[in-house]
């Protein structure tokens, strides 16, 4: 088991977070704490607000109300310099990889080091290649992002996200668009990373299988509110019907009205 | 809503959006200046390699087109000038005519329109596709300010290359005009050039160069802001690219008119 | 501040200590490379290391490769569990010669001849 330290301060603490998109409320009073060294999976369907929550955790958006603390510091009160420093302790793997298209794989992975450190060029390149070894992309250093498959892009993006040895790692939809085998490999990799680096990981996903495989705890988000936060067991046993709906992928069966249905299919057609 | 009310509401919305966009462009400008000046002191310098790269793309690669267009333009001015002035038996006055209009107006205008067409679209497309693929977000979460990393090098490269391109355009147009005049009026090119220099004051050249800086800033800001505000997939990207070129050229021409009015009163 | 270097039994032992991270790893790298430049066999002692990040490990990798090119001996001693898990992540535990201590290294047949 990883060293989850319940006594120390949470790495992430969200209090009463409220956000709007125009007039529409996207997140409505989110409270969540992520402990050091744990893998927290934020789960929800499309439109649940999970992507928005991630953008707030990454300080890409500003909340309408409430606050977010990372490493014990209120993010919205940080000076730009302090935020800059905090960001060097955070790694992010975006859904589409977000690799820089003008750079090859190795340059992509080395990019944060080149920007933020004054390490020797040899050290930087060895570090980048080590991370590519970790994600099983050895030998692909010189390829451009456009030459990579979906799974390889995710791996390269992960290598870039961990190149600075972050203390906190965000992962947006690790399995989206991947076949089950590749996706399972990636999940395995996430678990290994946490065990070896002791990094706190937040995964945002809509994939149940992946979520249950990697999560220490799961937060289920629906229509901008948290339905439940708990261990995988607690979530599975939840008697909240909306949680169960999400788990069982039930779309409510609407009874068919024959007349209306036929009308919908043939509406506006010539000669009918 | 009644029609006039609808029209007014629409006009209001469009104007507000335009003002908002200009505000955003001004922010980009101010932030770029901040990073160019203060960047090295907060150990986030604007990379010289990036500036050199942009100078290549914006400036050096534009040289052939700028030279070709300016040369042709010089020839055309000579043709029209001589044809017009012949009616007054004043063909020889074509030299100051070309010299003034090239250095004050057309050199810089041609350089700016070429750069707007080439780089205005390329910059908007590049930043726009980075926006779509979350590369901009990736920069931000890595603690790398996109304005410092992307906009500042472009702005600086524009400020450095536009005057150079303008001088090139001036020379190419004068040579074009000189060659044609030489053939028609039996004037050697060196005499033509000598008479150009007799006519021209530093002020005339400066007028073009100052404008080139302003046009460079306009192109950079319009292209970057359109790139950053891409939404809605590849169609949106195409729209932003086109918009960037059209708006840059429009801004250049309008700014030129305003300049010319104030500088020649 | 540099690291302590001790010369024993034909080895230069580089005693790394504390956090070998982005700010300290260049010093560690230089210390290791300097010893190799002087054609010394190198043991890197990680006993007193509280944390080593990938820049630290990268410096060890570079040192090891340089030593091989110069036909010098290179090994790690006193690798803590934390350091070991960092090495294992990139499977480098299978690359470096790793010994519990100097004595364990000396107990091995001597490849230095």
Domain boundaries, chain B: 46-263
Q: A252-272 pLDDT, tens per residue?
A: 566 788 888 888 888 888 877
Q: Give me the residues of B, 106-145, that contact A with CB < 8 A.
A: 129-130, 133-135, 137-138, 140-144
Q: Are A130 and C58 in contact (CB under 8 A)?
A: yes
CA neighbor of A215 nearest in space, from A34, A29, A12: A34
Mean pLDDT of chain B: 88
Structure tokens at A43: 């789960």
- The better pLDDT of the pair B146, B91 is held by B146
Residues B30-37 have a mean pLDDT of 86
- The better pLDDT of the pair C69, A7 is held by C69
Give Cα separations from A261 to A254, B118, C90 (angstroms): 12, 54, 59
- Burial (CB < 10 A; 0-12, 13-18, 19+), residue A103, is middle
Whether B27 has its CB under 8 Å from any CB of chain A: the answer is: no
* Distance, CA of C60 to CA of C71 (rounded, Å): 16
- Burial (CB < 10 A; 0-12, 13-18, 19+), residue B188, is exposed
Residues A213-226 have a mean pLDDT of 89
Mutate to test the interface with A, among B35, B57, B126, B142 (most CBs of A within 10 A): B142
Test A196 with C86 for CB contact under 8 angstroms: yes
Q: Is the pLDDT of residue A250 over 70?
A: no
Q: Are A5 and A37 in contact (CB under 8 A)?
A: yes
* Distance, CA of A199 to CA of A154 (rounded, Å): 18
Q: Is the pLDDT of residue B162 over 90?
A: yes
Q: A179-218 pLDDT, tens per residue?
A: 888 888 888 889 988 888 889 999 998 888 888 889 999 9
**B68: part of which helix (H) or strand (E)?**
helix B63-86
Whether A101 has its CB under 8 Å from any CB of chain B: the answer is: yes
Provide the pLDDT confidence category of residue B18 given band limits of 50, 70 and 90: confident
Q: C31-62 pLDDT, tens per residue?
A: 999 888 888 888 898 888 888 888 999 999 99
CA neighbor of B247 nearest in space, from B84, B129, B116: B116
Mutate to test the interface with A, among C21, C52, C90 (most CBs of A within 10 A): C90
- Phi first, then psi: what are they for C53, rounded to 5°? -100, -175
Residue of C29, C53, C91 with shortest CB distance to A165 = C53
Provide the pLDDT confidence category of residue B244 given band limits of 50, 70 and 90: very high
pLDDT given for residue A3 in this prediction: 47
- DSSP character for A6? S
* Distance, CA of B72 to CA of B85 (rounded, Å): 20
Residue of A123, A134, A197 with shortest CB distance to C62 = A123
Residue of B129, B130, B134 with shortest CB distance to A94 = B134
Which three-class secondary structure string do you get for chain C? CCCEEEEECCEEEEEEEEEECCCCHHHHHHHHHHHHHCCCEEEEEEEEEEEECHHHHHHHHHHHHHHHHCCCCEEEECCCHHHHHHHHHCCHHHCCCEECCHHHHHHCCCCCC
Structure tokens at C47: 């006993």
- DSSP character for B47? P
pLDDT given for residue A160 in this prediction: 94
Q: Is the pLDDT of residue A172 over 50?
A: yes
Tell the residue number behind the tokens 């054609």, with chain if given: C39
Whether A7 has its CB under 8 Å from any CB of chain B: the answer is: no
Pairing mode, if any, of strands C98-99 and C74-77? parallel
* Distance, CA of A180 to CA of A209 (rounded, Å): 9
Residue of A120, A165, A193 with shortest CB distance to C54 = A165
- How near does any CA of chain C get to the CA of A136, in Å? 9
Give Cα separations from A243 to A223, A229, A250, B198, B212 (angstroms): 12, 11, 10, 86, 62
Q: Is the pLDDT of residue B157 over 90?
A: yes
Residue of A123, A130, A197 with shortest CB distance to C25 = A123
pLDDT given for residue A254 in this prediction: 65
Mutate to test the interface with B, among A58, A81, A84, A144 (most CBs of B within 10 A): A84
- How near does any CA of chain C get to the CA of A138, in Å? 11
Q: Are A111 and A100 in contact (CB under 8 A)?
A: yes
pLDDT given for residue A249 in this prediction: 66
- The better pLDDT of the pair B200, B78 is held by B78
Q: Are A195 and A20 in contact (CB under 8 A)?
A: no
Q: What contacts C1, CB < 8 A, 6 or more positions away?
A: C27
Q: B181-199 pLDDT, tens per residue?
A: 888 888 777 887 888 778 7
CA neighbor of B162 nearest in space, from B125, B113, B227, B122: B113
* Distance, CA of A124 to CA of C58 (rounded, Å): 8
CA neighbor of A189 nearest in space, from A109, A138, A135: A135
Q: What ipTM does this complex have? A: 0.89
Structure tokens at A178: 């991947």
pLDDT given for residue A258 in this prediction: 86
Test A101 with B142 for CB contact under 8 angstroms: no
Mean pLDDT of chain A: 86
Residues from chain B that touch A116, judged by Cβ atoms under 8 A, are 142-143
pLDDT given for residue C113 in this prediction: 44
Test A98 with B144 for CB contact under 8 angstroms: no
Counted across chains A and C, CB pairs separated by less than 8 A come out at 51
**A30: part of which helix (H) or strand (E)?**
strand A24-34
Q: C3-30 pLDDT, tens per residue?
A: 888 888 788 888 888 888 888 899 989 9
Pairing mode, if any, of strands A24-34 and A12-21? antiparallel
């Amino acid at each position: 088991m990883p060293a989850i330290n319940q006594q120390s301060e949470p790495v992430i603490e969200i209090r009463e977070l409220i956000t709007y998109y125009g007039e529409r409320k996207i997140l409505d009073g989110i409270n969540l704490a992520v402990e050091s060294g744990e893998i927290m999976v934020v789960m929800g369907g499309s439109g649940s607000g999970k992507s928005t929550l991630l953008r707030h955790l990454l300080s890409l958006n500003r909340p309408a109300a409430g606050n977010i603390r990372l490493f014990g510091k209120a993010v919205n009160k940080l000076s730009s310099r302090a935020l800059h420093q905090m960001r060097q302790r955070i790694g992010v793997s975006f859904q589409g990889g977000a690799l820089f298209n003008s750079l090859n794989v190795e340059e992509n992975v080395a990019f944060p080091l080149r920007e933020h450190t004054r390490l020797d060029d040899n050290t930087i390149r060895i570090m980048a290649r080590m991370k590519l070894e970790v994600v099983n992309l050895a030998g692909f250093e010189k390829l451009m992002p456009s030459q990579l498959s979906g799974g390889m892009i995710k791996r390269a993006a992960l290598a870039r996200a961990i190149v600075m040895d972050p203390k906190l790692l965000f992962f947006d939809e690790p399995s989206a668009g991947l076949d089950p085998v590749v996706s399972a490999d990636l999940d395995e990799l996430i678990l290994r990373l946490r065990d070896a680096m002791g990094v706190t990981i937040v995964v945002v996903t809509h994939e149940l299988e992946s979520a249950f495989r990697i999560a220490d705890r799961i937060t289920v988000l629906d229509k901008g509110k948290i339905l439940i936060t708990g261990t995988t067991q607690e979530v599975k046993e939840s008697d909240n019907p909306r949680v169960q709906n999400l788990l069982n992928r039930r779309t409510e069966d609407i009874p068919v009205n024959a007349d209306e249905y036929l009308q919908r299919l043939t509406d506006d057609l010539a000669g009918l | 809503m009644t029609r006039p009310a609808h029209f007014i509401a629409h006009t209001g919305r469009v104007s507000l959006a335009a003002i908002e966009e200009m505000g955003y462009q001004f922010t980009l400008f101010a932030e770029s200046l901040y990073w160019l000046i203060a960047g090295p002191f907060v150990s986030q310098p604007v990379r010289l390699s990036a500036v050199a790269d942009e100078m290549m793309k914006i400036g050096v690669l534009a040289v052939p087109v700028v030279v070709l267009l300016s040369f042709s333009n010089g020839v055309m001015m000579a043709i029209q000038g001589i044809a017009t002035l012949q009616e007054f038996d004043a063909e020889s006055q074509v030299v100051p005519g070309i010299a003034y209009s090239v250095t004050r107006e057309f050199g810089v205008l041609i350089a700016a329109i070429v750069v707007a067409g080439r780089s205005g679209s390329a910059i908007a497309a590049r930043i726009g596709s980075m926006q779509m693929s979350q590369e901009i977000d990736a920069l931000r979460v890595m603690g790398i300010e996109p304005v410092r990393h992307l906009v500042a090098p472009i702005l600086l490269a524009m400020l450095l290359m536009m005057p150079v391109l303008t001088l090139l355009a001036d020379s190419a147009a004068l040579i074009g005009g000189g060659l044609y005049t030489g053939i028609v009026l039996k004037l050697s090119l060196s005499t033509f050039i000598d008479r150009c220099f007799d006519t021209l004051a530093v002020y005339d050249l400066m007028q073009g160069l100052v404008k080139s800086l302003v046009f460079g800033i306009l192109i950079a800001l319009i292209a970057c802001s359109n790139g950053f505000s891409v939404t809605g997939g590849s169609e949106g990207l195409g729209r932003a690219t086109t918009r960037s070129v059209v708006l840059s050229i429009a801004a250049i021409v309008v700014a030129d008119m305003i300049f010319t009015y104030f500088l020649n009163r | 501040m540099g690291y302590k270097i001790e010369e024993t039994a034909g080895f230069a032992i580089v005693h790394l200590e504390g956090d070998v991270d982005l700010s300290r790893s260049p010093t560690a790298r230089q210390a290791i490379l300097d010893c190799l430049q002087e054609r010394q066999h190198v043991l890197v002692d990680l006993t007193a290391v509280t944390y080593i990040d990938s820049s630290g490990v990268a410096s060890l990798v570079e040192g090891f490769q340089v030593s091989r090119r110069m036909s010098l001996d290179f090994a790690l001693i006193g690798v803590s569990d934390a350091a070991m898990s960092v090495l294992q992540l990139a499977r480098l535990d299978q690359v470096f010669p790793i010994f519990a201590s100097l004595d364990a290294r000396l107990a091995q047949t001597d490849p230095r001849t």
